[in-house]
């Protein structure tokens, strides 16, 4: 089953290679002393303890940890949608001061616009960038094709399954050609089969584009299957309690023994710090 | 081949299903008119107070044929379009501002909420004092009739815009006015639509009330004229005319708009 899916996932990467203008490559990220405190009515909650992290250009880093450990907050800060209480983020040497289309955040809920069809959702970012309608339509169709949704251009969000919505969200993000993809549990709400498939597709898109990807998940196997590096977070306040460099060959197979063993080792670190069961 | 046998049969049952509510409706109205006709013929009340449906129908036909009813309807519709149009522009702007700016919500928002509780016809005496009994007074009342409903609808929609859409849009490079026209307003469309519908029905009511006092030819004025002539048949004929105009506007403008929104949002 998975063998077959791997076979199907190959063509898109070949297609990306055929469109060299699609490839900007990733950029490095530097996160220095970034922390976040949420003030509620009577107390302050430390969501994220000061964090330092360097991400190489084109690296795929998985942030693994229980819900509420500040991983999502970190992505929002890197995206420039939230401000940090301390520290700073540099994207390709420039300090992040707000949202920018070099860094695109993908949400667990896909966050597609229900008043637009698939085609226009994918065109949204291009329209903001002022691209003329004809070019917009062509680019959108190419990315809809890349995520295997040709034929669904005129469908509305409510007509799509969860997996299809995530594909549209991915196409919408890729269309504006960001250097960094910030993925906040994008496959978290999907069934296991769809999730495996999308992981494989993401890996092949990443392999072809070499974008920098930060991927938040609470699924150990997913982290090991995707990441060059896995950072394990403790529960609130979020701190990095483990770092694993994954050198398994790609494309990775989920039933590979080495992958399973590594997952077990990482899971042990998580448990040791009160993750997973902690909340 | 088998399909050829099945399909016509299915189509017949389908259309019969679709027809049934219409048949019931038809039967209901025929019965209602019959009852009315019987009551009128019994002459419990004098015919000039309680005319038969046939009399009302012929009055309607004469009014339409002579053009009086049509001219009157056009005058009313024109006032409605002007008044509602002004409300639309003001209401969209006010609703957006109140929905997005906290200080305005706390001040202007409370005022709008309070004024919404005031039936718009209560503005009429003031309008007459300010403008005199003329076109401007009537349009003023229509504007105020629709304004607060539209404002509150837009405000509710804007306030309830899921923050996720805004985040996603900003993340994809949407800024300033584009954020409003391409995200906030479309996201608010279902709530705006209900505000627009309520606003239109209030505007229509205010218009009729205002026209009752007006001296120029219009639907409301024809009602009053019928009363002055002691002619209940004319009053009823004009009432039918008002219903026809109201239902037509509802069906021609709001129903398709609503259907579109429901389709897109996947609301049933």
CB contact under 8 A, B266 and A105: no
CA atoms of A19 and A23, how far apart (whole Å): 8
Interface membership of B178 toward A (CB under 8 Å):
yes
Q: For each of chain B's 268 residues, which pLDDT tens digit applies?
A: 444 444 444 455 567 788 889 999 999 999 999 999 999 999 899 988 999 999 999 999 999 999 999 999 999 999 999 999 999 999 999 999 999 899 999 999 999 999 988 988 899 999 999 998 889 999 999 999 999 999 999 999 999 889 999 999 999 999 888 998 899 989 999 899 999 999 999 999 999 999 998 888 999 999 999 999 989 999 999 999 999 999 999 999 999 999 988 888 877 5
Closest CA to B56 of B243, B229, B236: B236
Q: Is the pLDDT of residue A15 over 70?
A: no
Distance from CA of A97 to the nearest CA of B (A): 13
| A211 within some domain | yes
Contacting residues of B for A109, CB less than 8 Å apart: 164
**Nearest CB partner across the interface for B265, out of A76, A114, A125:** A114
CATH number of domain containing A233? 3.40.50.300
CB contact under 8 A, A113 and B263: no
Q: Are residues A20 and A149 located together in one domain of the fold?
A: no
- Mean predicted confidence (pLDDT) in A94-105: 91
Q: Are residues A261 and A162 located together in one domain of the fold?
A: no
Distances (CA, A) of A176 to A74, A100, A124, B165: 22, 11, 9, 17
Q: Are residues A65 and A188 located together in one domain of the fold?
A: yes
Indicate the SS3 state at residue B240. Answer: helix
| A244 within some domain | yes
Phi/psi region, residue A68 (left: phi>0; alpha: psi -120 to 50; beta: rest), is left
- Give the residue from A79, A99, A136, A158 with the most B CB atoms within 10 Å of its CB, the best one to mutate: A99
Residue of A nearest to B176 (CA): A128
HSE-up (13 A, CA, CB side) for residue B186: 19
Q: Are residues A201 and A123 located together in one domain of the fold?
A: no
Q: Are residues A158 and A189 located together in one domain of the fold?
A: no
Q: Are residues A185 and A168 located together in one domain of the fold?
A: no
DSSP for residue B218: S
CA A154 to chain centre: 26
Choose one of A159, A177, A195: the last residue of a domain.
A177
B120: exposed, middle or buried (Cβ count in 10 Å: 0-12, 13-18, 19+): buried
CA atoms of B246 and B201, how far apart (whole Å): 8
Does 3.30.450.370 match the CATH number of domain B53-265?
A: no
Residues 6+ apart with CB under 8 A from B150: B87, B88, B90, B91, B92, B95, B192, B195, B196, B199
CB contact under 8 A, B183 and A129: no
The pLDDT confidence band at residue A24, using thresholds 50, 70 and 90, is: low
Sheet of A94-95, strands arranged across? A44-55, A29-39, A86-91, A94-95
Q: Are residues A121 and A98 located together in one domain of the fold?
A: no
| A278 within some domain | no
Q: Are residues A131 and A94 located together in one domain of the fold?
A: no
> Which positions in chain A have a beta carbon within 8 angstroms of at least one beta carbon in chain B?
76, 79, 81, 99, 101, 104-105, 107, 109, 111, 113-116, 124-125, 127-129, 156-159, 172-173, 176
Residues A170, A173, A174, A179: what is their CA dihedral angle, to the nearest 10 degrees? -120
| A108 within some domain | no
| A216 within some domain | yes
Q: Are residues A138 and A223 located together in one domain of the fold?
A: no
Residues 6+ apart with CB under 8 A from A137: A119, A123
Provide DSSP, B169-196: HHHTT--HHHHIIIIIHHHHHHHHHHHH
Choose one of A130, A151, A177: the last residue of a domain.
A177
Structural domain boundaries enclosing A261: 2-102+180-272
CA atoms of B203 and B85, how far apart (whole Å): 11
Burial B59-69 (b: 16+ CB within 10 A, else e): bbeebeeeebb
pLDDT in tens, A151-196: 999 999 999 999 999 999 999 999 999 999 999 999 988 888 888 8
HSE-up (13 A, CA, CB side) for residue B217: 10
- How many residue pairs from chains A and B have C-beta atoms closer than 8 A? 64
CA atoms of A218 and A187, how far apart (whole Å): 10
Sheet of A229-233, strands arranged across? A103-106, A180-184, A212-217, A60-64, A229-233, A240-245
CA atoms of B89 and B147, how far apart (whole Å): 9
Residue of B nearest to A174 (CA): B172
Distance from CA of A264 to the nearest CA of B (A): 35
Distance from CA of A127 to the nearest CA of B (A): 9
Contacting residues of A for B177, CB less than 8 Å apart: none
CA atoms of A243 and A53, how far apart (whole Å): 11
Q: Are residues A88 and A185 located together in one domain of the fold?
A: yes
Interface membership of B268 toward A (CB under 8 Å):
no
CA atoms of A239 and A69, how far apart (whole Å): 8
Q: Are residues A33 and A68 located together in one domain of the fold?
A: yes
Q: For this complex, say whether ipTM is above 0.90.
A: no
| A49 within some domain | yes
Out of A40-44, A85-89, A125-129, B49-53, least confident range = A40-44
Q: Are residues A187 and A133 located together in one domain of the fold?
A: no
Choose one of A177, A203, A222: the last residue of a domain.
A177
CA atoms of A22 and A175, how far apart (whole Å): 9
| A227 within some domain | yes
| A279 within some domain | no
CA atoms of B201 and B149, how far apart (whole Å): 10
Q: Is the pLDDT of residue A9 over 60?
A: no
Interface membership of B260 toward A (CB under 8 Å):
no
Distance from CA of A269 to the nearest CA of B (A): 33
The pLDDT confidence band at residue A63, using thresholds 50, 70 and 90, is: very high
CA atoms of A114 and A160, how far apart (whole Å): 11
Interface membership of B223 toward A (CB under 8 Å):
no
Interface membership of B78 toward A (CB under 8 Å):
no
Looking at the structure of chain A, the number of domains it has is: 2
């Amino acid at each position: 089953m998975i063998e077959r899916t791997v076979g199907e996932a190959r063509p898109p990467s070949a297609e990306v290679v055929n469109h060299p203008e699609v490839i900007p490559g990733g950029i490095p990220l530097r996160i220095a002393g970034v922390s976040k405190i949420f003030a509620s009515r009577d107390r302050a909650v430390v969501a994220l303890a000061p964090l330092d992290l360097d991400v190489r250009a084109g690296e795929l880093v998985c942030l693994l940890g229980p819900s509420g450990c500040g991983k999502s907050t970190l992505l929002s800060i890197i995206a420039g949608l939230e401000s940090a209480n301390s520290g700073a983020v540099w994207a390709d040497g420039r300090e992040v001061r707000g949202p920018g289309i070099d860094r695109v955040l993908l949400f667990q809920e896909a966050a597609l616009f229900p008043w637009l069809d698939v085609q226009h959702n994918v065109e949204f970012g291009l329209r903001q960038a002022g691209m003329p309608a004809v070019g917009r339509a062509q680019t959108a169709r190419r990315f809809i094709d890349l995520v295997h949704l040709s034929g669904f251009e005129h469908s509305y969000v409510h007509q799509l399954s969860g997996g299809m919505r995530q594909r549209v969200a991915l196409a919408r993000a890729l269309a504006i050609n960001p250097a960094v993809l910030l993925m906040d549990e994008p496959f978290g709400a999907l069934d296991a089969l769809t999730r495996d498939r999308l992981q494989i597709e993401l890996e092949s898109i990443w392999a072809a584009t070499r974008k920098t990807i930060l991927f938040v998940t609470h699924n150990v196997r997913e982290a090991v299957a995707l990441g060059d590096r896995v950072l394990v977070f403790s529960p609130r306040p979020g701190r990095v309690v483990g770092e694993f460099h994954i050198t398994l060959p790609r494309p990775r197979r989920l039933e590979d023994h080495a992958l399973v063993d590594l997952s077990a080792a990482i899971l042990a670190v998580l448990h040791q710090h009160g993750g997973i069961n902690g909340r | 081949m088998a399909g050829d046998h099945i399909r016509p049969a299915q189509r017949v049952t389908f259309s019969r299903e679709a027809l049934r509510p219409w048949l019931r409706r038809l039967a209901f109205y025929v019965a209602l008119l019959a009852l009315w006709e019987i009551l009128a013929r019994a002459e419990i009340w004098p015919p000039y107070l309680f005319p038969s449906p046939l009399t009302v129908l012929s009055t309607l036909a004469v009014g339409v044929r002579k053009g009086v009813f049509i001219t009157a309807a056009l005058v009313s519709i024109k006032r409605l379009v002007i008044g509602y149009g002004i409300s639309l522009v003001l209401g969209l702007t006010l609703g957006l501002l109140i929905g997005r700016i906290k200080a305005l919500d706390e001040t202007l928002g409370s005022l709008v909420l309070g004024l919404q509780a005031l039936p718009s016809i209560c503005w009429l005496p003031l309008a007459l004092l300010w403008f005199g009994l003329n076109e401007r007074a009537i349009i003023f009342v229509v504007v105020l009739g629709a304004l607060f409903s539209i404002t509150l609808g837009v405000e509710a929609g804007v306030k309830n815009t899921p923050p996720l859409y805004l985040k996603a849009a900003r993340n994809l490079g949407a800024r300033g006015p584009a954020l409003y026209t391409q995200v906030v307003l479309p996201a608010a469309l279902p709530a705006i639509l209900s505000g627009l519908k309520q606003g239109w029905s209030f505007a229509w009511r205010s218009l009729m009330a205002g026209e009752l006092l007006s001296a120029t030819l219009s639907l409301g004025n024809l009602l009053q004229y019928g009363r002055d002539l002691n002619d209940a048949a004319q009053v009823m004929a004009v009432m039918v005319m008002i219903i026809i105009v109201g239902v037509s506007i509802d069906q021609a403008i709001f129903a398709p708009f609503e259907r579109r929104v429901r389709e897109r949002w996947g609301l049933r």
